[in-house]
Amino acid sequence: MNTRNVAEKIWDCFNIAALAVIASLMLLPFVHIFAVSFSSLEDVLQKDFILWPSHWTADSYRVIFQSRPFISSLGVTVTITVLGTLVSLILTTSMAYALTRNILGQRVILLMIIFTILFNAGMIPVYLVVKSTGLINSLWSLIIPGAISSFNLIVIRQFFLNIPGELSEAALIDGANEIRTFCSIILPLSKPALATFALFYAVGYWNKYFEGILYLNDARKWPVQVVLRQMVIMNETTSTLGSDVLLQFENQPPPVTIQMAAILVATLPILILYPFLQKHFAKGVMIGSVKG
Amino acid sequence: MKLKRLTMWVVVLLLVFTTACSSSKGQGEAQGETTDKKEAAASEPEKTEEKYKITGATYIFGNPPPSGGRGQQMLNEKFNVDYFVEKIPSENFIEKITAMVAGGNMPDQISFRAANIELFNRWAKQQAFLPLDDYIQEFDYLKEIPDELWLPFTVDGKIYGIPTWSPVESQSFIVRKDWLDKLELSVPTSYEELEQVAIAFTKKDPDGNSKHDTYGLAIGQDINPSYAMGPYWQNDTWYHKNAEGNFIPGMISEGRKELIQFFADLHKEKALTSDFAVVNWADTNNEFYSSKAGIFLIAVRGMSQDYMDALQKIDPSAEFVVLEPFAAPDGSKGFTAGSGYSRFLTLNAKLADSPDKVRKMLEIHGFSRQYYPASTTTSANEDFDWYYGNEGVGYKLDENNIRVPLTEPGSGTEPFLYFIDSTAWVGAEDDAEFPLAYTNEKLREATQQLVDINKSYKLYYPPSVGIISAAETEHGAELNTYLINEQTKMITGNRPISEWDDMVQEYLKRGGSKIIEEYNAVIKGRGYTEHIWK
């Protein structure tokens, strides 16, 4: 017995150590970004890899927070993330619920949804739709065209199907209509699912990039990822096109320290969301995977 | 129950309402041109000068100024227009502009990148752009553009694009002078000497810190920078001829082969960036500016002052010398001229019906290209003062009479930020004053050296500028990747350089010969036979 315990303990120690190493490997890039953002450019150039600034300086952050485009774009991103997540959740859950009911054409609608998972229209046709619905240059163009993710919809529908039918039947007998059943019975029972998909959607909206460039003509409405990329990207352009591009620069990219600070400021808010939703999350990602 | 239902409806209605609101706004902006035209047409009798709405699109590195800023308002007032240029992130410029044009939203003017010449050509053939030939005679600033620069923008005999100035001055390479002095070496004038210098930088501890932490050439992926000390060795120009007397691309030339041999020798000695095949451009820069590598690229403009400042803090004794071109085996000595243009402006073909609007647009374009040499600028120069947002608000002049911006571009204070093209046209007689772009003394000195070198040698004008080859459009990128990969292998010793001819044959077989054929057809058409040095 004792020996097994010892063996188990050794195994545990080994296990914890191995997992700790893997976890710290995941953390390393973040620590590096953090350290570079608080270092001076000379230090960054001289050392190959920085884990802790040798001379602390917040200069990069001063530049970032004085940069009007960056701050206003953060505001835009927060707006579309909050609003978009709300719209997406309302539309996805209500549609998923409707599709659990025996309504006419339910199968056809489901097939159409699955069709969009497999095939998509392509950039220009979608642009034309957005244009003809008058969404060009409106923040709604980042929200409405992708408000419902087909995959999320199907998973949520599956989750709703797993809720015993007797519950909604009982509500029906008590005089509740479908909307009431949906709001008072189904949604409260689906909190883990809602938390999970809220997170999925929120991260999706936070990272909106290409739509921002394509549909928004006014740079004041750009989401933070576009502004961030514009701050960071210029170094990469030169590497793919060669030194010739050097001659074309009208303005130089900010130094790497400022880039790292910008990355950190743009990532941190959404990162903070994770721990709060984590308890639901672990439960939530399994939803719909096993039926019955 | 009713309450719930009510809230649901409120939410739905709210959504529909806000969408409708934004939709009408978006529509207005997107199609403002047509409605404006109607309005303008209706009110024409009363007005002496029509107020035009001018839309435009171009690419941008970095972030654009906010729309409606002070500079924008000043622009609109000065020219009595409603002027807006959308600045699209350069990485996605083509995607967005294609979507806009496909969606029927082509703006009045588009300023393309030099690299978009192929797309330009295609659209010009489809008559998307306005022919400019007649207007060129009307405007002095257009007459000033030399004939050869119209060539790339001439499609089927008509001119559709206006080039923006870019220096013809060549780049060169910069060497750590303090390291040369320490090791008592002279400035290299040939590849043999450059090789010795690079190896000495690697093995003889030029910074004297008794550590083995320096080396010769900073070089990164795609074998960039090229370290071509003349067109004879240059990869991206057409200089050599094959047995039939046709021009061939530098990538498969004898000069390039010599250069690859030179790199391979240095690689063996660890005298160039060791893992160069996977080092990106930013990190290649870091190798030099962190005082590890002693040799790197320098151009007449676009150098990073932040990085140069950092290098001087790391090693305050850093001094620099710029290399002069090397004498090539064929007796030539000099660098290759730049293309002379960077971006170019096109106008929408639909403007054919409104010549007055076109004149207005060209008037604004011409204004934004005025050149103000630092030696002559004062705030008393009205155009200059206005263009940069007035002294004390948008800029101040320092003791050397150099303009120092007082606000960051994000505040949108200066009018120049809002033009579709704010690059001044530096005429043949003007001095471009490259060194004055920097405040860093060392960077100024080095730039001055490069400018002087450019003045003391003739520049090679390649025959290939502005040629569009269908075969190149189709296979060019793939073939270039192939050559870069094989040549990288040769440098690292994974493929013997003795197989050079096999590589060239493979290139020719996979479409290279077609490219050469198409280029030479145009080159012969232009009557270009001997190398042109000016």
Distances from the Cα of A164 to the Cα of A107, A186, B190, B417, angstroms: 21, 10, 84, 63
Candidate from B111-125, B306-320, B391-405 with smallest mean pLDDT? B391-405
Cross-chain residue pair A131–B225, CB shorter than 8 Å: no
Could you tell me if B450 and B298 are in contact, meaning their C-beta atoms sit under 8 angstroms apart?
yes
Residues 95-124 of A with CB under 8 A from B: 123-124
Please tell me whether residues B162 and B183 are part of one structural domain: no
Q: Which two tokens stand for residue A212?
A: 């921002």
Please tell me whether residues B135 and B177 are part of one structural domain: no
Domain assignments of chain A as residue spans, ordered by start: 2-57, 68-284
CA-atom Rg of chain A in angstroms: 25
Averaged pLDDT, B400-415: 82
| Residue B404, pLDDT score | 82
CATH number at residue B507: 3.40.190.10
Averaged pLDDT, B292-312: 87
Q: Is the residue at B14 inside a domain?
A: no
Q: Say how far apart CA B328 and CA B533 lie, in whole Å.
A: 14
**Bigger pLDDT: B436 or B47?**
B436
CA distance B80 to chain A (A): 21
Q: Which two tokens stand for residue B161?
A: 């694009």
Q: Say how far apart CA B75 and CA B285 lie, in whole Å.
A: 38
Provide the pLDDT confidence category of residue A2 given band limits of 50, 70 and 90: low
The residue with tokens 């060169």 is B172
Burial of A217 (0-12, 13-18, 19+ CB in 10 A): buried
Provide the pLDDT confidence category of residue B427 given band limits of 50, 70 and 90: confident
Q: Which two tokens stand for residue A167?
A: 């519950």
Please tell me whether residues B327 and B297 are part of one structural domain: yes
**Bigger pLDDT: B121 or A253?**
B121
Average pLDDT of chain B is 87
**Bigger pLDDT: B37 or B246?**
B246
| Residue A87, pLDDT score | 96
**Bigger pLDDT: B526 or B533?**
B533
Q: Say how far apart CA A160 and CA B211 lie, in whole Å.
A: 68
**Omega of the bond leading into B225 within 30 degrees of 0 (cis):** yes
Task: Choose one of B418, B446, B468: the last residue of a domain.
Answer: B418
Q: Is the residue at B2 inside a domain?
A: no
| Residue B95, pLDDT score | 92
Cross-chain residue pair B23–A134, CB shorter than 8 Å: yes
Residue B88 has pLDDT above 60, yes or no: yes
CA distance B282 to chain A (A): 5
Distances from the Cα of B128 to the Cα of B124, B158, B245, angstroms: 6, 13, 38
| Residue B429, pLDDT score | 78
Fold of domain A68-284:
MetI-like fold (1.10.3720)
Provide the pLDDT confidence category of residue A248 given band limits of 50, 70 and 90: very low
Single-letter code of the amino acid located at B173: F
Q: Is the residue at B241 inside a domain?
A: yes
| Residue A286, pLDDT score | 54
- ipTM above 0.90? no
Please tell me whether residues B82 and B119 are part of one structural domain: yes
Query: Which residues of B fall within a CB distance of 8 Å from A254?
Result: 306
Q: Is the residue at B8 inside a domain?
A: no
Residue B17 has pLDDT above 80, yes or no: no
Could you tell me if B307 and B139 are in contact, meaning their C-beta atoms sit under 8 angstroms apart?
no
Cross-chain residue pair B166–A231, CB shorter than 8 Å: no
Q: Is A204 on the interface with B (CB under 8 A)?
A: no
Please tell me whether residues B441 and B396 are part of one structural domain: no
Q: Which of A265, A211, A258, A209 is nearest to A235 (CA)?
A: A258
List CB contacts of B501: < 8 A, sequence separation 6 or more: none
Q: Which two tokens stand for residue A24?
A: 């710290």
Residues forming beta bridges with residue B321, ordered by sequence position: B175
| Residue B376, pLDDT score | 74
8-state DSSP, B374 = G
**Bigger pLDDT: B430 or B20?**
B430
Q: Say how far apart CA B315 and CA B235 lie, in whole Å.
A: 33
Residue B36 has pLDDT above 80, yes or no: no
Stated as kind and residue range, the H or E segment containing A210 is: helix A210-215
Please tell me whether residues B309 and B365 are part of one structural domain: no
Could you tell me if B357 and B176 are in contact, meaning their C-beta atoms sit under 8 angstroms apart?
no
Q: Is the residue at B40 inside a domain?
A: no
| Residue B407, pLDDT score | 82
Q: Which long-range contacts (CB under 8 A, 24 or more apart) does A275-279 make?
A: A277/A195, A277/A196, A277/A198, A277/A199
The predicted-structure confidence for B233-255, as pLDDT tens digits, reads as follows: 999 899 999 999 999 999 999 99
| Residue B30, pLDDT score | 40
The residue with tokens 């990164």 is B220
Please tell me whether residues B470 and B347 are part of one structural domain: no
Average pLDDT of chain A is 83
| Residue B13, pLDDT score | 52
Q: Is A236 on the interface with B (CB under 8 A)?
A: yes
The predicted-structure confidence for B448-468, as pLDDT tens digits, reads as follows: 999 999 999 999 999 888 788
Please tell me whether residues B198 and B270 are part of one structural domain: yes
SS3 assignment, position B87: strand
Q: How many domains does chain B have?
A: 2
Q: Which residue of B has its CA nearest to A40?
A: B310
Task: For residue B468, give its domain range.
Answer: 172-336+436-533
List CB contacts of B208: < 8 A, sequence separation 6 or more: B182
Query: What share of chain B in percent tops pLDDT 90?
Result: 57
The predicted-structure confidence for B361-374, as pLDDT tens digits, reads as follows: 999 999 999 988 87
The predicted-structure confidence for A131-164, as pLDDT tens digits, reads as follows: 999 999 999 999 999 899 999 999 999 989 988 8
Please tell me whether residues B331 and B249 are part of one structural domain: yes
The length of chain B, given as a count of residues: 534
Beta strands (DSSP E) in B318-407 are 320-322, 341-347, 395-397, 403-405
Provide the pLDDT confidence category of residue A39 given band limits of 50, 70 and 90: confident
| Residue A240, pLDDT score | 32
Provide the pLDDT confidence category of residue B106 given band limits of 50, 70 and 90: very high
Please tell me whether residues B82 and B194 are part of one structural domain: no
Q: Is the dihedral of CA B359, B423, A250, B345 positive or negative?
A: positive
Please tell me whether residues B99 and B187 are part of one structural domain: no
**pTM for the full model?**
0.79
Residue A211 has pLDDT above 70, yes or no: yes
Q: Which residue of B has its CA nearest to A229?
A: B62
Q: What are phi and psi of B128, to 5 degrees?
A: -80, -20
Q: Say how far apart CA B19 and CA B41 lie, in whole Å.
A: 31
Please tell me whether residues B206 and B132 are part of one structural domain: no
Q: Say how far apart CA B427 and CA A74 lie, in whole Å.
A: 43
Q: Is the residue at B85 inside a domain?
A: yes
Q: Is A242 on the interface with B (CB under 8 A)?
A: yes
Provide the pLDDT confidence category of residue B190 given band limits of 50, 70 and 90: very high
Q: Is A83 on the interface with B (CB under 8 A)?
A: no
| Residue A263, pLDDT score | 87
Q: Which two tokens stand for residue B80?
A: 């009595």
**Bigger pLDDT: B466 or A108?**
A108
